[in-house]
Amino acid sequence: METKIISTDKAPAAIGPYSQAVAVGALIYTSGMIPVDPDTGHMVSGIREQTRQALTNVKSLLEAAGSSMNKVIKTTVFIKDMNHFAAVNEVYATFFDSDPPARSCVEVSRLPKDVLIEVEAVAVK
């Protein structure tokens, strides 16, 4: 099966030894996207804004790979505070019009750059 590294300047660059996304056959696996605005390199603030930016970064990666949010089959959402769950869901729902993908959401003690959320996805081409 062919493996292809996916990268775009429309999502934050990797901050370690990993790829932004990898396509294997018909599947695309994104790395965790944090809420860094790729145009400025700055973090947005607030859980709703951070959720929107992290998901926008996932969307940009998928589009660079020839896919879309409508083709996401699984996401994993890491949040720093489970009390933000309702706010995350509110924004998350705007990215998935109908038939949302399977999802795991877990609270973690710390995320890169001390962000409030990180999102990764698996999609089909």
Determine contact, residues 1/23, Cβ cutoff 8 Å. no
Residues 37, 39: Cα–Cα separation, whole Å: 5
Residues 118, 96: Cα–Cα separation, whole Å: 17
From 39, 34, 30, 42, select the one nearest 10 (Cα to Cα): 39
Q: For 100-124, how does the pLDDT look when each residue is reduced to its tens digit (9 = 90+)?
A: 999 999 999 999 999 999 999 999 9
Give, for all 125 residues of the chain, the pLDDT tens digit.
889 999 999 999 888 899 999 999 999 999 999 999 999 999 999 999 999 999 999 999 999 999 999 999 999 999 999 999 999 999 999 999 889 999 999 999 999 999 999 999 999 99
Q: What is the CATH number of the domain that holds 37?
A: 3.30.1330.40
pTM, two decimal places:
0.96
Give me the catalytic one of 27, 43, 105, 122.
105
Q: List the structure tokens of 66.
A: 């020839």
Is 105 noted as a catalytic residue in this protein? Answer: yes
Domain count across the chain: 1
| Structural domain boundaries, residue 82 | 3-124
Cβ atoms < 10 Å from Cβ of 103: 15
